[in-house]
Amino acid sequence: MSLALSVRSLEAKIGDLQILKGVDLEVPAGEVHVLMGPNGSGKSTLCHVLTGKDDYQATGAILVDGVDVSDMAVDERARAGVFQAFQYPIQIGGVLLGELMDEMAEASPDAAAFRARTAAAVETLHMEPFMDRAVNDELSGGEKKRSEMLQLAAVQPKIAVLDEIDSGLDIDAVREVAELVERLRSPELGVLLITHYSRILRYMKPDRVHVMIDGRVVKSGGIEVAEELESSGYDELRKRFGPRPVDEEDDFLADL
Amino acid sequence: MVSLKSHPPIDPTLPTWIADLQHSAAAALADLSMPSPKLEEWRYVDLGFDVGTFGMAAKGQPSSLDIPFRSEVGALAVTDGGIAELVNELPTGVSFGSVRRSGEDYVAERFGAGIPGGRDVFTAIHQAFADDGAFLHISSGTAVAEPFTLEISATQSGMISLPHLTVVVEDNAEASAIVYFTSEEDVEAVVLSQVEVTIGKNSHFKLTVVQQWGDKTRAVADVAYTMADNATGTFTEIGLGGAYSRIRFDAKLVGNGSHMEIVGAYFGDSDQVLDYRYFLDHIGVGTTSNMFLKGAVEDDAESVFTGMIRIEEGAQKANAHQTNRNLILSDGASAQSVPNLEILANDVRCGHGSTMGPLDKDQRYYLMSRGLDKAQADRLQVKGFFEEALVKVPHQQIRDELRIAINDKFVAAQSEGRV
Ligand SMILES: Nc1ncnc2c1ncn2[C@@H]1O[C@H](COP(=O)(O)OP(=O)(O)O)[C@@H](O)[C@H]1O
Ligand SMILES: [Mg+2]
């Protein structure tokens, strides 16, 4: 069994603020893993550190399909197989989604195959009308997420990190995204799906669920981990692993 | 060399309306010299040349057009001030050609009326020496969809040329023109051009200037619009070339409900200086204006934008907006952006905004996370930056050619390691 992603003792800080405090995580190829955790626990930071954003000083090992990417620049990591679907996709005024997909094709090892995958995904995701519109500009939350999923399908990465791909979506759109993730499952792809609600899990079958509290993965297990969280919230885990007193308003159940 | 102090005797064969202009401009010229950067209108720039060391160019006799877009209905070439009508399939109601050859009264009235000859040494030289110009006249009720084109070029190093265009659009009419400014890379010419546009009631005129002077040409352009009731004027400039290229633009929104739309995109490299001075005067009731300019500079280039919107006392319900966004692509490059409002009426809506900075980091991160290398990401970001202005270029048939010209310029900077 090859590992799409293997993260060991990953720490990251921004200035003096330590956000990731030693993350260990493995996602085998062919599996879909879920990472849950309260707001501010470091999930998006993990995504950006995996993607190689240079705002963070990071230490530790990041292996993608066995290759250490931790010294690679953002674009090299992308070409090595890291793909992030952004929680807040960046708007690029004046650049059409179709143009971006063309440039991505040019940068990919096989432009013709990339274009074929793009064409297929444009059809399944009903993205035709968006190809002539600017990237993430004046799109609804759901449309932005579909645009990210289109790019994911075209890129065919080794590890796809989907940061809150379900947030801001109505329930039909959440189901649609979940089904898409299931459809993208392949023996060559590992998926790390980050969410802070469990509702998306009703429509998919993750292989494993991890929980992040205060910059560490503190619990991993099967779908039952998510079910426990749904009934009891993060409080118990936060008491054991978190740095600060429990804040009722930030309770997991309040999000449902 | 031109003597700025003693004008040669005025050619007795000139029509009186040109001779009179020459007379008064020559008198003004005697007291003028190169403008000092202490003057507000000339602040921020070092002109880097003395117009008094240049001679007056002999007029060219153009016989072909060398521009990406040429009109099917009417195209002129103006080489070193010499005018040739090279496409002449003019629709009824349109005259387009040399002022001198036309001999029409309405031309005589308008020629030189839009720009004060004694405003500075350049306008004075222009009016003291220019003895011909192009004119475009659109009669009442005439609408022409196809743009007219002019190729204005300079070919003589060490020489001054004085291209002139007078546009008169009568009432209830509609027309447009594309002007290309061109010179070869090594031509050290000075071009002092004037464009004056008068738009009648309910009429619409659109002018797009594609400025592609060679890198040693210095150009000072004066452009003036005057608008009647419910007239709409559009002025667009794409500034790419020139050692020094300036546009001083004046619009007088005299007519009630008149509207002025200004779009600009400019990109300076090496030690180019691109200098824009916009003056909009809202005079009529319910006049509106929109200014939207995007500029980039790299290497040691400099750009200047000053925008002065003046709302006169009687110009109630005026609505005026100006936006100038700047991309600074190299440490040695600089941009000035000075939007100004002077409001004398009390029931108006005005707004201005200007920004300045490098390429956006978050956009670069996002694009690179898609596998694009930095150079590819930068190109896409620059494209996106200018696109917002290019989609507003009213002549959509030339948008692609402008996109390519801008991209080529940026790619050259990348391949030479300047950005
Ligand atoms: N660029 C940043 N600058 C300062 N603090 C940051 C930055 N990015 C994240 N943080 C902080 O790190 C913590 C984790 O944030 P984040 O990774 O976005 O959490 P999550 O995605 O789990 O909600 C938060 O306290 C957040 O305020
Ligand atoms: Mg987050």
Atom of ligand 1 nearest to the CA of A41: 22
In this structure, the number of other CB atoms found within 10 A of the CB of residue B260 comes to 27
Q: How far off is chain B from A151, nearest CA to CA, in Å?
A: 8
- Return d(Cα A240, Cα A248) in angstroms, integer: 16
The pLDDT, as a whole number, for residue A168 is 81
* A67 three-state secondary structure: strand
B362 CA to centre of ligand 2 in angstroms: 16
Q: Whose CA is nearest to atom 6 of ligand 1?
A: A14
Which residue has 């020139």 as its token pair?
B242
Select from A44, A45, A77, A103 the residue whose CB has the most chain B CBs within 10 Å, as the one to mutate to test that interface: A103
Select from B365, B376, B383, B407 the residue whose CB has the most chain A CBs within 10 Å, as the one to mutate to test that interface: B365
Which of A11, A16, A17 for a ligand 1 pocket mutation test, highest count of atoms within 8 Å of Cβ? A17
* A250 three-state secondary structure: helix
In B161-200, the residues whose Cβ lies within 8 Å of chain A are none
pLDDT > 90? residue A241: no
Query: Each residue of B285-314: pLDDT tens digit?
Result: 999 999 999 999 999 999 999 999 999 999
The pLDDT, as a whole number, for residue A50 is 98
Q: Does A93 touch chain B (CB under 8 A)?
A: yes
Q: Which candidate, B158, B220, B216, B162, places its Cα nearest to that of B184?
A: B216
Q: Does B385 touch chain A (CB under 8 A)?
A: yes
Q: Does B292 touch chain A (CB under 8 A)?
A: no
Q: Does A151 touch chain B (CB under 8 A)?
A: yes
pLDDT > 50? residue A254: no
In this structure, the number of other CB atoms found within 10 A of the CB of residue B299 comes to 18
* Domain segments of chain B as ranges: 16-415
- Return d(Cα B232, Cα B393) in angstroms, integer: 15
The pLDDT, as a whole number, for residue A104 is 98
Asked if A106 lies within 8 A of B366 by C-beta distance, the reply is no
Name the residue with higher pLDDT: A202 or B216: B216
A13 CA to centre of ligand 1 in angstroms: 10
Q: Does A185 touch chain B (CB under 8 A)?
A: no
- Closest residue on chain B to A47 (Cα): B369
Q: Which residues of chain B have pLDDT under 50?
A: none
In contact, A3 and A63? CB cutoff 8 Å: yes
Asked if B384 lies within 8 A of A95 by C-beta distance, the reply is yes
The pLDDT, as a whole number, for residue B4 is 66
The pLDDT, as a whole number, for residue B159 is 97
What does the radius of gyration of chain B's CA atoms come to, in whole angstroms?
21
Q: Which candidate, B214, B68, B221, B243, places its Cα nearest to that of B153?
A: B214
CATH 3.40.50.300 fits A3-88+159-253, yes or no: yes
* pLDDT mean over A40-69: 97
Q: How far off is chain B from A2, nearest CA to CA, in Å?
A: 23
CA atoms within 13 A on the CB side of B400: 3
- Return d(Cα B267, Cα A174) in angstroms, integer: 45
In this structure, the number of other CB atoms found within 10 A of the CB of residue B320 comes to 25
Q: Both ends of chain B: CA-CA distance in Å?
A: 40
Q: What is the pTM of this model?
A: 0.94
A163 CA to centre of ligand 2 in angstroms: 7
pLDDT > 50? residue A252: no
Asked if A104 lies within 8 A of B372 by C-beta distance, the reply is yes
> Model ipTM?
0.93
Regarding the beta carbon of A44 and ligand 1, being less than 6 Å apart is answered yes
Regarding the beta carbon of A117 and ligand 1, being less than 6 Å apart is answered no
Q: How far is CA A211 from CA A149, A238, B382, in A?
A: 24, 11, 41
Contacts of A135 (CB under 8 A, 6+ apart): A89, A90, A91, A92, A95, A96, A97, A100, A147
Q: How far is CA A232 from CA A166, A201, A227, A236, A251, in A?
A: 21, 17, 9, 8, 9
β-strand partners of B197: B167, B225
The pLDDT, as a whole number, for residue A231 is 84
Biggest distance spanned by C-alpha atoms of chain B: 72
* pLDDT mean over A205-219: 96
